[in-house]
Structure 1
């Protein structure tokens, strides 16, 4: 019995390491953005808008959820009616983007590891305030120097900043209307 106990104690760390490897293997890699990808809140092709984009993978969903703006991507993680079994959150890495108008189809950074410039003069592709993501602090500082704003980590992007833009599709959905309805414009 004592040998059995010792064997179990010695093998337990190996068994747990195997579990961690299996969980890590389940985290999906980002998908390349294509003309078929439709924004979750706006219902439009994500390539039709300038600025950074986002994609979220949830265990309960078969495909990634696409977003026309990073603010909408962040809103998805906050809104109570959205899935909470999130495996990965990817946002356009604007440090590697060719330009604001063409943020790139495969330069993604995991949002929880990114730095965000918020409160800048630059607007999202949908016309609202944007949280501009960077994998590199120097690139974020340069962007903030040129466009205003401040740099924060994923967990420090204020909830109100994400949910209160007059033109944010996610914020509109959270308050029960579309951005067109709230601004008085017809769809």
Structure 2
């Protein structure tokens, strides 16, 4: 009986060690040629500008986005899953260029500084929320390309969901986002 209790205790400890802690934030994934955009269904490496990835609790692979703006929109849409463990966006402060935002230079979206309303367009040719790991880099970008610097928490919902973005279409996403947003 004592041996059985010891084995049961050891088994429970091992199983507990295998389970992910909900507070533990997973590391970002590097972009590969297999990364397909959630809303556009296209290879995200084929598009310029910042990208994003969201890691959900129930999956071991990220959901990819062809723009940082799409990534943020996912978090605002009521029909999308809410068991988000991590949100990463391209760190444009360390990106080789706009056309090559990098495959492994990610910043936690909640810690990023975003430039909205700039003259740069995202991966699908629409307004973008350009992410940076440093406020200084974001302000320098805004001086050169226009726009304003904001935090993840202060991103205007209307800008992210397309109403104030100055674009009529975002690969069809603006209409989808507006329709979803207006059903609430």
Gaps of 5+ in 2: 1-19
Q: Of 52, 55, 60, which aligns to 1:54?
A: 52
Q: Of 139, 152, 155, which aligns to 2:153?
A: 155
Secondary structure of the residue aligned to 2:153 is helix
Runs of 4+ in 1 over 4 A off after TM superposition: none
What residue number does 1:34 align with?
Answer: 32
What residue number does 1:168 align with?
Answer: 170
Gaps of 5+ in 1: 1-20, 178-187
Higher fraction of helix: 1
Q: Of 139, 142, 147, which aligns to 2:140?
A: 142
Give the structure-2-normalised TM-score: 0.80
Give the structure-1-normalised TM-score: 0.79
Structure 2 matches for 1:93-108, cutoff 5 A? 93-108=91-106
Q: CA deviation at 1:125?
A: 1.6
What residue number does 2:16 align with?
Answer: none
Counterpart CA distance in 2 for 1:61 and 1:75 is 19
Counterpart CA distance in 1 for 2:104 and 2:139 is 23
Contact 1:72 1:168 in 2 (8 A): no
Q: CA deviation at 1:176?
A: 5.2
Secondary structure of the residue aligned to 2:114 is strand
Q: Which moved more, 1:164-173 or 1:103-112?
A: 164-173
When the two structures are aligned, how many residues end up with a matched partner?
A: 157
Q: CA RMSD in A?
A: 1.9
